[in-house]
Amino acid sequence: MNEAIALANLSALSHPMRLRAVRALVARAPNGLTAGEIATSIDASPSKTTFHLNLLSEAGIVSSKRQARHVVYQVEFAALGALLRYLLEDCCGGHPTVRECCASASGDGPGLDC
């Protein structure tokens, strides 16, 4: 992970349709969803969906493979993990406040209002 990749990742996630697409894919992991299913779930036209999925794909946040007439998209958890790690470690300097927000998400730390 480096600045350029992190920026591409952040840009890719910073659009409502794309963030929703990612969440839909997370909900259906590890099987993924077809482009058409994603289009339906985010209520977007086919070309719009392709446009946004391409950005996510170029950023490495999703991958795709053709299956017969469908194209199945899957979320790349490792890419998201790398982005979060970069933000936490390289951008926030591993600051305790930030680290504890991530830790408290797993229910083990003290309850913070993150």
Partner DNA sequence: TTTTTACTTCAATAATTATTGAAATGAAAG
Partner DNA sequence: CTTTCATTTCAATAATTATTGAAGTAAAAA
CB 6 within 8 A of CB 87: yes
Q: Which of 45, 77, 44, 38 is nearest to 60 (CA)?
A: 77
Distance between CA atoms of residues 104 and 88, nearest Å: 14
Q: Which of 39, 23, 33, 40 is nearest to 67 (CA)?
A: 33
Tell whether residue 54 is a contact of a copy of itself (CB under 8 A). Answer: no
Tell whether residue 28 is a contact of a copy of itself (CB under 8 A). Answer: no
Which residue in this structure is represented by tokens 């933000």?
Answer: 87
Tell whether residue 37 is a contact of a copy of itself (CB under 8 A). Answer: no
Choose one: 3-11, 39-47, 50-58, 64-72; the region binding a copy of itself (CB under 8 A).
3-11
Contacts of 102 (CB under 8 A, 6+ apart): 84, 88
Choose one: 39-47, 49-57, 64-72, 74-82; the region binding a copy of itself (CB under 8 A).
74-82
Tell me how far, at minimum, the Cβ of 4 lies from DNA, in Å: 12
Tell me how far, at minimum, the Cβ of 50 lies from DNA, in Å: 4
Of a copy of itself, DNA, none, which one sits near residue 91, judging by CB under 5 to 8 A according to partner kind?
a copy of itself
Q: How far apart are the first and last CA of the chain?
A: 25
Residues near a copy of itself (CB under 8 A): 1, 3, 6-7, 10-11, 13-16, 19, 22-23, 26-27, 29, 77-78, 80-85, 87-95, 97-106, 112, 114
